[in-house]
Structure 1
Amino acid sequence: MSLAPLIDFMVRGGPALWVIAALSVLTLTLFFWRVIGLAQAGVWHKRQTEAWLEQWSVEGAAPACAGSTPLDRVTLSAMRALLTPEFSPEIAEKETIRIAKAELATLRRGLRPLELIAAIAPLVGLLGTVLGMIGAFQALQESSSGADPSVLAGGIWEALLTTAAGMAVAIPASALVSWIEGLTEREQAVMEDATTRVFTAAATHPALRHAAE
């Protein structure tokens, strides 16, 4: 397959289109990196938290923790913290919050670059369009009375290529940011619910802690 048409298209768009092309490659790379990272983090694994809360069993939960979800790991950390003799309930809560923040930070990785791409891609496209329009009108001025409207029209549509390309990159990047943020907010909500249940059960039924020990 010949690359000549693609190269010609890129040349017509000017330097701004090359920058946008690089941003599109970066966006695609970040997409696959985050999907693989989220899968490795266990976001789509089957959650076992409910069974652990019903049994209040740290020993039963520990072997499964390696392949568990972020929610499972945070719940297990809360149970372990409460069963640590050196930890008061307040310290156990702080330790659980620390681990939860680390899990959420892992889920949010890559958001900053994607947000930056979504913000600057349209601006780069607009800059390319403005520069292209300036060139087209300069050519029109130099041709004076012998100006050909088709030449001006051709210069304008070539300049508009960069705006369209910038939007084509920014829209998927914005959608990816929203998807990751939504997933993270969902995980945060279920983490807060599960850890609250753990600490409430420990506070209202102290015998659970002694039985588990």
Structure 2
Amino acid sequence: MDPLTTQILDPLTTPDLLSAPELLDSTLLPSVAEPAPSQLDTLVNLLDVGGPVVWILCVFSVFALTLILLKFWQLSVTGAGGKRKTLNALTSWNQGKQSLAIEQLNSSRQALPRLIGTAMRGVHQKGDTPQLREELSRLASIEMENLRSFLRPLEVIANLSPLLGLLGTVLGMIVAFQQMELAGNQVDPSVLSGGIWQALLTTAAGLIVAIPVFLAHSTLERKTERIAHDMEILITSVFTRNCLDPYIPGATQQSQKSGEDWKTADGAINAA
């Protein structure tokens, strides 16, 4: 046994270890590992490295996410639920049950059923008049303006985020080259590479914000256009309830019945 091990194991010489810490081998003591940084710490570090541009992009992302969730909820309620209720009322309307159709839409607070209900009440009370069509066109424009609300801010965020990221990259590159100039002939490559990746971080953050917002804006815009298309067709169906319209359940059946009655009458005339 070597002298160092004998001295460590000897209880009489143990107090000497306190006065001679160099005798302790690091392999004899348990090593304490440094705690790994959490994801939150890493995120905060990236925000600090990115600077004000990344913080602005974070605010943009939170604002855009709120608008996207709000608009998807609004258009889902107005589109799917409102269209289903409107088609049921138009089925009754095409079958000649005008009072029932109006009653089905009276209590609705959704844009599409409310507008179609107004058209039905106008036709039922005053008939097809130019004034009624103008009023319905005005109301439809108001409803569509409400449905298109907050789509413009999403478009601005989708277009502005990459530009902000590029601005942050340019500013970061300026700082990196200034550090190279101050270093003179003793340029450390790690300083340059560190400045470059910090500068490129803002561009990546801008694209991360812009791409999902752009996709969400395109989807919401398409949903809005579809609701506008449905609104135009359904309003027209109120005025042309006696015509063949395969878009509305009940209208086709009524038109087919009218065609059969016409064939029966035509056959009776020819027989006479």
TM-score bracket relative to the smaller structure: 0.7 to 0.9
Q: Secondary structure at the match of 2:149?
A: coil
TM-score normalised by L of structure 2: 0.67
2:80 aligned residue: 44
CA RMSD of aligned residues (A): 2.4
User: Structure 1 unaligned runs (5+)?
Assistant: 204-213
Higher Cα Rg, which structure = 2
One-letter amino acid of the structure 2 residue matched with residue 115 of structure 1: E
Q: Secondary structure at the match of 1:83?
A: helix
Kept in 1, the 8 Å contact 2:102–2:120? The answer is no
Deviates more, 1:9-18 or 1:44-53: 44-53
Q: Secondary structure at the match of 2:47?
A: helix
Q: Deviations over 1:37-70 (max 9, x none)?
A: 334x432216133343343244323443334754
Q: Deviations over 1:89-141 (max 9, x none)?
A: 11111121122222222221211111111111111111100000000011111
In the TM superposition, 1:190-205 aligns within 5 A as 190-201=230-241
1:80 paired with 2:121, answer yes
Kept in 2, the 8 Å contact 1:129–1:160? The answer is yes
Q: Secondary structure at the match of 1:43?
A: helix
CA distance in 1, matches of 2:238, 2:191: 72
Kept in 2, the 8 Å contact 1:77–1:99? The answer is no
In the TM superposition, 1:20-59 aligns within 5 A as 20-39=57-76, 41-45=77-81, 47-56=84-93, 57-59=97-99
1:140 aligned residue: 180
CA distance in 1, matches of 2:67, 2:206: 17
CA distance in 1, matches of 2:168, 2:192: 16
Alpha-carbon distance, 1:161 to partner: 0.6
Q: Secondary structure at the match of 1:47?
A: helix
**Percent identity, aligned pairs only?**
41
Higher helix share: 1
- Against the structure 1 CA distance between its residues 53 and 32, is the aligned structure 2 distance closer, same or farther, given a 3 Å change threshold? closer
1:182 paired with 2:230, answer no
Aligned with 1:121 (options 161, 177, 181): 161
1:90 paired with 2:126, answer no
TM-score normalised by L of structure 1: 0.84
User: Structure 2 unaligned runs (5+)?
Assistant: 1-37, 244-272
- Against the structure 1 CA distance between its residues 201 and 64, is the aligned structure 2 distance closer, same or farther, given a 3 Å change threshold? closer
Kept in 1, the 8 Å contact 2:102–2:121? The answer is no
1:11 aligned residue: 48
Higher relative contact order (CA 8 A, sep 6+): 1
CA distance in 2, matches of 1:201, 1:181: 30
2:202 aligned residue: 162
Kept in 1, the 8 Å contact 2:72–2:220? The answer is no
CA distance in 1, matches of 2:228, 2:200: 42
Q: Secondary structure at the match of 1:145?
A: coil
